[in-house]
Structure 1
Amino acid sequence: QKKGAQPLEAFLRGKPEQIERIRRQLKAPLRDAAAVNTTRWALFNALKKTGLPVQTGTGAQTKFNRKAFGIPKEHWLDALCVGRINGADHPEDMGVLQVRCTGRGSYQRTRLDKYGFPRGYLMRQKRVHGFATGD
């Protein structure tokens, strides 16, 4: 008999604590999924109240539209394929603007140890060999 067709007790014979842990997880409520669904429908209803045209779609419909219009499977192109559409066109040379957040360095000039005594000193300038953070 294949592993997937075996009952849980037969598959995990000799591991009662693991069986108990799995049984507890089976009975656990799906709080996270319920929260996501509630939020999704609240957002949908709020958008509908604005009077703007709003429609929903399924993952299968998005996949069908993507294949029908020859759109590559990229996360940033999914918005083109959602819902009932007549056509989709995207420029081939269009890309994703990738933004990276970088800090401003440290304004603190002296590192302290756990007793509050100076441990080291940081450089005064923010540029090193003409380069700054984010260049």
Structure 2
Amino acid sequence: MKAYRPALAFTLREAIKTYPKELKAGGWKSKFVRDYMADTAAASVVMDGGDSGDSVRIVTAAALLLWNGGDEGLDETQFWRSQVGKTDVGEIDASTMLEPDVVIALTKLFVLEWSNQLDHKLYEDLPLEMLVA
């Protein structure tokens, strides 16, 4: 994921700039889409997560802009199969527009990473009585 973060951030930023009408039609506020959403999505990906579920909503909304398949295609991507056995992906050019299948696969990993971070934060905040009970 590390090698792909800059390209994923670039791709999501470009998707938001290219398809603002679709986001507005999906219920996103016009000013937010125009002024903040692209940078928020990119920053969330590059910084390896965000502090809220809003980061996940923004990143997934941007990724879905690029997806032209049906919902069933979102369940299984081919990207990870092409990565089996590769030990060093190398550096991916930050200005590379990723294919939709790659964007969906990396977005799923982003959501998984964020969820894991959230679970860890929640676990750390539990009272000691709950941890040992």
Determine if the TM-score, normalized by the shorter chain, exceeds 0.5: no
* TM-score scaled by length of structure 2: 0.19
Higher relative contact order (CA 8 A, sep 6+): 2
Q: Which has the larger radius of gyration?
A: 1
